[in-house]
């Protein structure tokens, strides 16, 4: 392993935790946010794609409401999140505007990831924003969720977003310099773990006791997030967000923080998931031209190449693509329901709006959501 995988990463998810964003109970640390935004703007100018996952809404809401302590009532926490989200997004928007960068607010919860249709909707929206050079700022939808407020500090959400957009790199900025082999707060000889595999079970021992490094500062959730991100082939760096130019250092491949590597590349991991872990809900029969496009040219499936539709499925379901003899040639997540697919089969992408009155996607199955049978 080496830090070239960080240097070569093109699509990043950057997560900034509450411990960094809040200024000793005085709300958001706007000066610190300006510093991270400047670094992100420079990454964007270098051709990197960045999605930002940010905590801090509840802390900012508590200050705006004039409360002296964090409430215990879930409804008060939800109210604080709703109020604080306004300040959080305003701060990012004004900071990014210094670099002529637009931002977008994206609020997600676990249901958005569990539903395949909502999953594809969220994926499509994020991909479109990235293509428009807009910086998506993602947060949990704390106003309507409950358990997410009390656990995870957005670490798991950042990993799920990395899975969602096929990110190459997840960078978790925290108030610690990374993962240590002992608790650095009590052991002056504690050594920073520079690199490890995300699935290395020996790292779990560090979370054994109440004074374990992973158990302090939310490090256990960061390790879990790295493993979740690794499922889609995304590598993770856990690093100290207060270190000067930390994002530049990571991007330059410098030996900072802890690099937790995935065992395979994002697209390979995603296609393995598509191939083996979802139930096939229907079939699309293809003409010879479509079979050739999928198997020989590695392109997306267009409706014009579909001759028949079998089964009942909704947008986001897994379907099998078969040739005229019924032999499977590929499978993938379909962009239209079976009823819609029946109406647009054999027609060009340009005809979809005229037939349905709208167009979700140009493709029936995008090549990133498709795996060719071996």
Residue whose C-alpha is closest to residue 345's, from 292, 287, 291, 274: 287
Q: What is the SS3 assignment for 125? A: helix
**CA dist list (Å): 297 to 217, 284, 294, 301:** 48, 19, 6, 11
Whole-angstrom Cα distance, residue 3 to residue 124? 30
* 121-142 pLDDT, tens digit each: 888 899 999 999 999 999 887 6
Greater model confidence, 7 or 12: 12
* 290-312 pLDDT, tens digit each: 999 999 998 999 999 999 999 99
Task: Enter the DSSP assignment of 181.
Answer: S
The fold adopted by the segment(s) 278-372 is 2.30.130
Whole-angstrom Cα distance, residue 248 to residue 250? 5
Greater model confidence, 340 or 263: 340
Q: What residues does each domain of the chain span?
A: 4-266, 278-372
The CA-based angle 253-222-180, given to 5 degrees, is 70
Sheet of strand 306-311, all strands in order from the earlier edge strand to the far edge: 306-311, 280-286, 318-322, 328-333, 370-372
- Quick check: 275 pLDDT over 70? no
- Quick check: 103 pLDDT over 90? yes
Computed over every residue of the chain, the mean pLDDT equals: 86
> To the nearest 10°, the Cα dihedral for 157, 128, 99, 49?
60
Cross-strand partners of 328: 322
Whole-angstrom Cα distance, residue 359 to residue 302? 13
Tell me what pLDDT residue 246 has: 97
Tell me what pLDDT residue 185 has: 77
pLDDT band, very low/low/confident/very high, at 166 (cuts 50, 70, 90): confident
- Quick check: 113 pLDDT over 90? no
Is the Cβ–Cβ distance between 321 and 294 less than 8 Å?
yes
When pLDDT is averaged across residues 198-211 and rounded to a whole number, the result is 67
Whole-angstrom Cα distance, residue 305 to residue 146? 45
Tell me what pLDDT residue 176 has: 85
Where does 212-297 show beta strands of DSSP type E? 235-240, 258-261, 280-286
Task: Enter the DSSP assignment of 186.
Answer: T
Is the Cβ–Cβ distance between 231 and 166 less than 8 Å?
no
Task: Enter the DSSP assignment of 300.
Answer: P
**CA dist list (Å): 21 to 5, 31, 35, 39, 209:** 27, 10, 11, 15, 28
Q: pTM for the whole thing?
A: 0.77
Tell me what pLDDT residue 72 has: 83
* 242-265 pLDDT, tens digit each: 999 999 999 999 999 999 999 877
Tell me what pLDDT residue 209 has: 38
- Quick check: 328 pLDDT over 90? yes
Percent of the chain with pLDDT over 70: 87
Is the Cβ–Cβ distance between 20 and 32 less than 8 Å?
yes
- Quick check: 287 pLDDT over 70? yes
Greater model confidence, 299 or 25: 299
- Quick check: 217 pLDDT over 50? no
Whole-angstrom Cα distance, residue 146 to residue 206? 29
* Lowest model confidence (mean pLDDT) among 199-208, 226-235, 315-324, 354-363: 199-208
Tell me what pLDDT residue 150 has: 43
Q: Parallel, antiparallel, or unpaired for β 280-286 and 306-311? A: antiparallel
CATH code assigned to 4-266: 3.40.1160.10
């Amino acid at each position: 392993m080496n830090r070239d995988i960080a240097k070569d990463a093109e699509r990043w998810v950057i997560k900034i935790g509450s411990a960094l964003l809040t200024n000793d109970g005085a709300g958001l640390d706007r000066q610190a946010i300006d510093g991270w935004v400047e670094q992100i703007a420079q990454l964007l100018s270098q051709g990197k794609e960045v999605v930002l996952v940010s905590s801090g809404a509840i802390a900012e809401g508590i200050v705006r409401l004039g409360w002296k302590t964090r409430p215990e009532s879930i409804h008060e926490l939800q109210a604080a999140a709703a109020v604080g989200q306004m300040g959080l997004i305003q701060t990012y928007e004004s900071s990014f505007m210094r670099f002529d960068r637009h931002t977008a607010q994206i609020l997600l919860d676990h249901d958005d990831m569990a539903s395949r249709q909502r999953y594809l909707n969220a994926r499509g929206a994020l991909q479109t924003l990235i293509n428009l050079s807009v910086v998506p700022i993602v947060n949990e939808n704390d106003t309507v969720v409950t358990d997410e407020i009390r656990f995870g500090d957005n670490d798991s959400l950042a990993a799920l977003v990395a899975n969602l957009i096929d990110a190459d790199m997840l960078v978790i900025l925290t108030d610690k310099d990374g993962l240590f082999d002992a608790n650095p707060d009590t052991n002056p000889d504690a050594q920073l773990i520079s690199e490890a595999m995300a699935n290395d079970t020996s790292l779990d021992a560090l979370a054994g006791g109440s004074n374990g490094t992973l158990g302090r500062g939310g490090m256990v959730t960061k390790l879990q997030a790295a493993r979740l991100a690794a499922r889609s082939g995304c590598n993770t760096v856990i690093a100290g967000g207060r270190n000067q130019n930390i994002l530049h250092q990571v991007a330059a491949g410098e030996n900072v923080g802890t690099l937790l590597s995935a065992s395979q590349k994002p697209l390979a991991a995603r296609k393995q998931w598509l191939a083996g872990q979802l139930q096939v809900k229907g079939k699309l029969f293809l003409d010879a031209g479509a079979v050739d496009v999928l198997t020989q040219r590695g392109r997306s499936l267009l409706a014009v190449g579909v001759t028949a539709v079998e089964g009942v499925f909704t947008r986001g379901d897994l379907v099998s693509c078969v040739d005229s003899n019924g032999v499977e040639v590929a499978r993938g997540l379909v962009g239209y329901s079976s009823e819609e697919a029946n109406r647009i089969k054999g027609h060009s992408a340009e005809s979809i709006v005229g037939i349905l009155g709208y167009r979700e996607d140009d493709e029936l199955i995008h090549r990133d959501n498709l795996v060719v049978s071996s």
